[in-house]
Amino acid sequence: MRRLHQLPPDVITKIAAGEVIERPASVVKELLENAVDAGAHRIDVDIEQGGVDLIRVVDDGCGMAAEDLPLAFASHATSKLAIADDLFRIGTLGFRGEALASIGGVSQASLQSRPAEQATGAEVACQGGALSSVRPWNGAPGTRIEVRNLFYNTPVRRKFLRAVGTELGHVSEVFTRLALAHPTLHLTLRHNGKDIYEIPGSSGILDRLGVFFGADVRERLYPLEARQGPVLLRGYIADPANERGNAKMQYLFVNGRWIRDRSLGHALQEAYRGLLMTGRYAVAFLFLELPPDHVDVNVHPTKIEVRFRDGQAMHHLVFAAVRERLQKEDLTGQLRIPGKVFAPGFGPGAGLQSAPGFFGSPVIPASGLPFASAPNQANNHLSQASPASGISNDPGTGALAHSARLGGPSGEMGLTPVPAPGELKAIQLYDAYLVLETPEGMLVIDQHALHERILFEQLKRRLRTDKLESQRMLIPEPVDLPAEQAARALEQRDALAELGLGIEDFGGGTVLLTSYPAILGKQPPQTILRAVVDYLIAKDRMPVRAQVLNDLLSLMACHAAVKAGDRLTADEIASLVAQRHLVHDPHHCPHGRPTSLLLSRQELDRQFRRT
């Protein structure tokens, strides 16, 4: 049997160090934060070999008194917390008194410091946890810490370090986060004697974003500001065209601290819903300021996760502010020529590009929406509803039953198409695209994507006031499903009922389909139920109800919309085009694909040398 014993102090230190010091970047983060807490205006960071050989951080902050130096590398020694209650109103980046002890335990470190009000300073060294005596030191006010040979005494940890370039990348990231969180600091970063960044205190957030992420990002940012109670949200969000394949460019700061937060990340993505393809991520830089007692930062060893007192309110704030800001912008996919972004998420345009050099000129900024000024008649002219579209003017269920064709549900939705005055000329190409002359330029519409968007919004509006129309089955239809799938579907019975999809448990994995959404017209009801079940089981964790409804609406809109390959009549084309300006976001289908692309009049003139 093994006996119980208390661990020796050097082992304890190494264990603790494992939590906070994972690699050179962790050291840089802790030292930078200490300098900020010391009130520094300027911080210089020098590293060698990705920080493995050397990390030196010099600041002009308040410095440390010589008498305090023996404690600097001691565990749980801090000047930032006095009593337990302080933990719930933390105004500094550090507070655990753990970082320097950890660093001193796994490297050869030295610290030199002088408070501004004192004529001389002092220095102390710490090698693998062993402290030297304190000696006088003559240097400028502030603090200077050198960390050499990280993990020299923990070979296993050292083996986990990556190539110099990778470690440098991590250091740069930490540096970037701090520079964004504290935009008045003068900061420099040097690697192996070469300048990487030199950021004057005068360069504000926007300049910094340009320095770190390039002009491409900087030029397509929308500033944002919102307040909710004592909470202030500020920052920049990027045009959806700047989307990325991962969430790394979603920067979130809380009271000057970079953090990671799944819930707020989700709020951000939700706000971009419909503007991004599935699996693509928005770019955003968001700064939250809130009273220290509204957020608990003491939940993670490196403090990169926090707990909000009212997480839901924060989620709402981020979602609403971002969503609102995006809606202010006209986000029509732009035909960017050459070779740049063709449309969000797409490569340079197939089809519209011709001989090399043909589209050789720079991007032309978008003008407004082709139909932006027309929606005033939206509620009139019921009788004009797309004559050829098979729509009945009966506002009851009958109208919906046929709505799968163009024109959509009529009457109550206030979405009757109003063909704009005669100058709208549209033709169908390849039974898939509509090409349209507008005052701004030549508009190419994806017929399926646009119709899907129109139906989606109609359904959504409808759902807000009522359930969707449903068609009762004369004879309920049994649908056999694997038991687990049947259970999943039955769990969501109420949500499905709101969508007009009625199901009942028949036992043994069989589900009885009693009614189906009228909008689906002649689609076989089984098909839609199976599509819905596929959706439900694809989720490993059930999303919130609003999202289930949203996704299912988009699924139904997709099934009900005209397809690529459907030949449309002139009236159907007119109807589809006319409804375009009645939808909230005519630019993207519910999955985030663009519905239309604009080749501007100016661009045409320029290409044909008419200017």
Binding site for ligand ADP (CB under 6 A): 30, 34-35, 38, 59, 61-64, 72, 77-80, 94-101, 143
The CA-based angle 5-10-13, given to 5 degrees, is 100
Tell the smallest beta-carbon distance from residue 100 to Mg ion (Å): 7
CB of 34 to ligand ADP, least distance (A): 3
What is the C-alpha to C-alpha distance for residues 568 and 576, in angstroms, rounded to an integer? 10
Smallest distance from ligand ADP to CB 62, Å: 6
Within residues 405-464, the interface with Mg ion by CB under 5 A covers: none
Told to check if 99 binds Mg ion by CB under 5 A, we report yes
363 binds, among ligand ADP, Mg ion, none (CB under 5 to 8 A by kind): none
Rounded distance between C-alpha atoms, residue 447 and residue 440, angstroms: 20
Which C-beta is closer to ligand ADP: that of 137 or that of 285?
137
Helices 447-465 and 570-579 meet at what angle, rounded to 10? Answer: 60
Q: How many positions of this chain bind Mg ion (CB under 5 A)? A: 3
What is the rounded CA–CA span in Å between residue 207 and residue 198?
A: 12
Binding mask 327-356 for Mg ion (x = CB under 5 A): ------------------------------
Q: Do residues 46 and 56 touch, judged by C-beta distance below 8 A?
A: yes
Least gap, CB of 80 to Mg ion (angstroms): 8
Cα–Cα distance for residue pair 202/335, rounded to 1 Å: 37
* Shortest reach from residue 311's CB to Mg ion, in Å: 26
Among Mg ion, ligand ADP, none, partner that 61 touches (CB below 5 to 8 angstroms by kind): ligand ADP
Residue 457 site contact among ligand ADP, Mg ion, none (CB < 5 to 8 Å, cut-off depends on kind):
none
- Rounded distance, CA 498 to CA 516, Å? 11
Q: Which residue in the set 50, 51, 63, 94 belongs to the binding site for Mg ion (CB under 5 A)?
A: 94
Q: How far is the CB of 45 from ligand ADP (least distance, A)?
A: 12
C-alpha span between 598 and 367 (Å, rounded) = 10
Q: Which is nearer to ligand ADP, 171 or 513 (by Cβ)?
A: 171
Question: Strand order in 510-517's β-sheet?
Answer: 470-480, 510-517, 502-507
CA distance linking residue 253 with residue 541, whole number of Å = 27
CB of 546 to ligand ADP, least distance (A): 41
Residue 413's binding partner out of ligand ADP, Mg ion, none, with CB under 5 to 8 Å set by partner kind: none
The reply to whether 102 sits near Mg ion by the rule CB under 5 A is: no
Going by C-alpha positions, the residue among 466, 480, 341, 299 that lies closest to residue 396 is: 466
Residue 292 contact partner, candidates Mg ion, ligand ADP, none, CB within 5 to 8 A by sort of partner: none
Omega of the bond leading into 338 within 30 degrees of 0 (cis): yes
Least distance between ligand ADP and beta carbon 44 (Å): 12
Give the residues across from 108 on adjacent strands: 127, 148
Closer CB to ligand ADP, 61 or 345, in the complex? 61
Q: Tell me phi and psi for residue 294, to 5 degrees.
A: -95, 0
Per-residue interface string for the shown chain with Mg ion, residues 7-46, x marking contact by CB under 5 A:
---------------------------x------------
Cβ neighbours, 10 Å, residue 421: 7
Residue 518 touches which member of ligand ADP, Mg ion, none, C-beta under 5-8 Å by kind: none
Residues contacting residue 64 through CB under 8 Å, at least 6 positions apart: 72, 111, 113, 115, 143
Residues that bind Mg ion (CB under 5 A): 34, 94, 99
